[in-house]
DNA sequence: CCAAAAGTGTTTAAGCTACACCCATGA
DNA sequence: TCATGGGTGTAGCTTAAACACTTTTGG
């Protein structure tokens, strides 16, 4: 989160102009909020927390966590703040990026609300799985939300936001090493492969995956120890941590959907 | 631009709740605007129109075209409207996509202004090259704006927005057939190649470029005529129009910057 | 020993790069 | 006829996909 440098008026008359400026002449303005799609992997499924709405509108439906952007913060800062409140995680363990801004005038029947959505990837830790005390938050599997069988209705345009977020997450894994942000270090290459398989919803060739990851310089770095994966049987595997590159060259492409 | 379906209250009490709702309890809100980066190719250079600011703040600096989002429109609709006002082009000839939303509380010294930036690609037609009558708009080459030699200062955070837009444009050409939206159909493959060379700032191997484009199904379709390119000497070339695919498989990758 | 995952080798196909070379057109 | 860009051919390299096979661990 980078700050702009402070604006310096060029002249006394400009200073006076700014001091006397009356914002109300530009009308009522809009309410500005953030919504956050916090992706994590729980029980082998791509999941995210949703909050049950207690009041109108969409009472009883599930909504993305989020809230109003305060007057002294950017939407990035608001997203990070809400994320901390929601998950209790420190910022440096989280990956968070802006997704898109939703501004349909009818998206909230109460009033005009413009919302910027953020996508975050976190390892599954002490996330609220069942109902919390203050807010009624649950972890939901994406496939259950999108399934016609399940009866999970999302408030506002949050289903569309989720669809956009899912596509973003899938494509992010292709050309960045961010899959590792779903894991706690150290991890095995199988753990990493399972992240891809979970997010993309397709199985990958283990041997070729291994070669591709290791041949991409800086993707992962071995810690020099072996350890058992998060799974039971089989040989113990080399352990890795995430490397220091931002982009993968070449990318790790999924098959077409 | 897709619309949400109208929200239907679930009960008379919810209907009453919405009718009685008082938006002012959520504070003053923010001003909401759009800024548009209209990329086009003029005299062999990637260019965009900028508007000279006549008032405070940043008086005399150059700013991206844009304006307030009206209360009955989404930011997409506002961007398209402003684009029409700015260029006089019909919507279907323009490619326009959301870039990012900028919400630093200090980005406008007058008041809190949240702005969603859009990127558009258009063929160079009757764009305002010199000063217009109403607004003082000029076409600027991106390289001149970014050059330290030239003395073109951009208002607000518009330089950062331009940098983000430039990176978006470069990467869009890699995996979509949108390069053709910079051209008027029909065009030759050399014209198309020159778009890539201009936006990416690197020269491409003409023979290999030709093979790659033609081997990517649906990228371009021949109209069955030959015609001279926009350039003088040499053999007449086959003419093409843009195809009907949204994504290129495989992508047309640029070299690292 | 057996099952299951880790890890290596190898073959084949596909794509990209570079260079050579011919074709068509206008000056 | 010559310069210039259009267009084709092809060798050599790199990468991806598929399959076979060996190694290491727990039960």
pLDDT one digit per residue (tens) for chain B, 257 residues: 556 678 999 899 999 998 998 877 666 689 999 999 999 999 999 999 999 999 989 999 999 999 999 999 999 999 999 998 887 777 777 899 999 999 999 999 999 999 999 999 999 876 655 444 456 889 999 999 999 998 999 999 999 999 999 999 999 999 999 999 999 999 999 999 999 999 999 999 999 999 999 999 899 999 998 887 666 688 999 999 999 999 999 899 998 77
Q: Give how far Cα B110 sits from Cα of A203, A232, B39, B92, B154, Å.
A: 54, 61, 28, 36, 17
Q: Which long-range contacts (CB under 8 A, 24 or more apart) does B236-239 make?
A: B237/B188, B237/B189, B237/B190, B238/B188, B238/B189, B239/B186, B239/B187, B239/B188
Under the banding of pLDDT at 50, 70 and 90, the label for residue A198 is very high
Angstrom distance (rounded) from CA A204 to CA B167 = 31
Q: Which residue in A has a C-alpha nearest to residue B9's C-alpha?
A: A57
Joined together, the tokens standing for residue A47 give: 């999941």
Distance CA B244, CA B177 (A): 9
B112 touches strand D (CB under 7 A): no
Return phi, psi of residue B242, to 5°: -70, 145
SS3 helix, strand, coil % of chain A, rounded to 5?
30, 25, 45
Note whether B103 contacts A69, CB cutoff 8 Å: yes
**Can you tell me the distance from the alpha carbon of A153 to that of B213, in angstroms, rounded to the nearest whole number?**
44
Higher pLDDT, A63 or B3: A63
Say which residues have a Cβ less than 8 Å from residue A121's Cβ, sequence separation at least 6.
Answer: A39, A40, A94, A95, A169, A178, A181, A182
Supply the mean pLDDT for chain A. Answer: 90
DSSP A146-210: H-SSS--PBPTTHHHHHHHHHHHHHHHHHHSSGGGGGSPSSB-HHHHHHHHHHHHTS---HHHHH
Arithmetic mean of pLDDT, A59-68: 96
CA-CA distances (angstroms) from residue A170 to A156, A188, B191, B207?
A: 23, 21, 34, 34
Does residue B226 approach strand D to less than 7 Å at its CB?
A: yes
Confidence of residue A131 (pLDDT cuts 50, 70, 90): very low
Q: What's the rounded mean pLDDT across residues A183-211?
A: 96
pLDDT in tens, A139-161: 999 999 999 998 999 999 999 99
- Mind telling me how many Å the CA of A141 is from chain B's nearest CA? 25
Task: Give the Cα separation of B232 and B198 in Å (integer).
Answer: 19
Strand locations in B145-206 (E): none
pTM of this prediction exceeds 0.75: yes
DSSP H/E element including A102: strand A95-102
Bases in strand D with any atom closer than 7 Å to a protein CB: 3-9, 15-20, 23-27
Closest CB to B23 among A26, A104, A111? A111
Report yes or no: A108 and A35 within 8 Å, Cβ to Cβ. no
Q: Do B23 and A31 touch (CB under 8 A)?
A: yes
The beta-carbon neighbor of A103 closest among B31, B116, B256 is: B116
Nearest to A155 by CA among A101, A108, A199, A190: A108
What Cα–Cα distance (Å) separates residue A63 from each residue in A95, A111, B23, B58, B130? 21, 17, 20, 41, 50
pLDDT of residue B3: 61
The answer to whether some atom of strand D lies closer than 7 Å to the beta carbon of A234 is yes
Nearest residue to A103 via CA among A44, A25, A156: A156
Q: Specify the pLDDT at position B5.
A: 75
Q: What is the spatial distance between Cα A65 and Cα A137, in angstroms, rounded to a whole number? A: 9
- From the list A14, A75, A110, which residue is nearest B103 (CB)? A75
Lookup: tokens for B251: 């992508």
Spatial distance between the Cα atoms of A201 and A198, rounded to a whole number of angstroms: 5
Contact A176, A188 (CB under 8 A): no
In which residue are the tokens 């009041």 written? A55
* B231 C-beta less than 7 Å away from strand D: yes
Locate A10 and state its tokens. 């060029």
d(CA B78, CA B103): 18
Burial label, B69 (beta-carbon count in 10 A; 0-12, 13-18, 19+)? buried
Per-residue pLDDT at B120 = 97
| Rounded Cα–Cα distance for residues A248 and A186 (Å) | 20
Dist CA B160 CA B145 (whole Å): 12
State whether residue B158 is helix, strand or coil: helix
Look at the alpha carbons of B204, B205, B206, B208 in this order and tell me if their dihedral is positive or negative. Answer: negative
How far is residue B102's CA from residue B88's CA, in Å, rounded to a whole number? 27
């Amino acid at each position: 989160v980078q700050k702009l440098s402070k604006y310096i008026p060029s002249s006394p008359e400009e200073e006076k102009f700014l001091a006397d400026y009356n914002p109300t002449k530009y009308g009522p303005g809009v309410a500005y909020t953030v919504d956050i799609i916090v992706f994590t992997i729980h029980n082998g499924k791509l999941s995210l927390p949703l909050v049950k709405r207690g009041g109108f509108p969409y009472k009883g439906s599930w909504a993305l966590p989020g809230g109003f952007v305060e007057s002294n913060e950017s939407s990035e800062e608001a997203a990070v703040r809400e994320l901390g409140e929601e998950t209790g995680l420190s910022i440096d363990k989280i990956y968070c990026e802006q997704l898109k801004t939703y501004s349909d005038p009818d998206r909230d029947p109460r009033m005009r609300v413009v919302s910027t959505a953020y996508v975050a990837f976190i390892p599954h830790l002490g996330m609220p799985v069942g109902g919390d005390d203050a807010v009624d938050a649950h972890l939901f599997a994406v496939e259950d939300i999108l399934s016609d069988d399940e009866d999970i209705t999302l408030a506002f345009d949050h289903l569309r936001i989720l669809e956009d977020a899912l596509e973003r997450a899938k494509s992010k894994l292709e050309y960045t090493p961010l899959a590792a942000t779903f894991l706690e270090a150290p991890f095995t290459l199988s753990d990493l492969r399972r992240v891809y398989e979970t997010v993309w919803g397709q199985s990958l060739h283990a041997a070729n995956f291994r070669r591709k990851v290791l041949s991409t310089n800086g993707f992962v770095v071995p810690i020099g120890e072996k350890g058992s994966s998060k799974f039971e049987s089989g040989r113990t595997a080399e352990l890795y941590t995430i490397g220091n590159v931002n982009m993968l060259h070449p990318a790790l492409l999924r098959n077409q959907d």
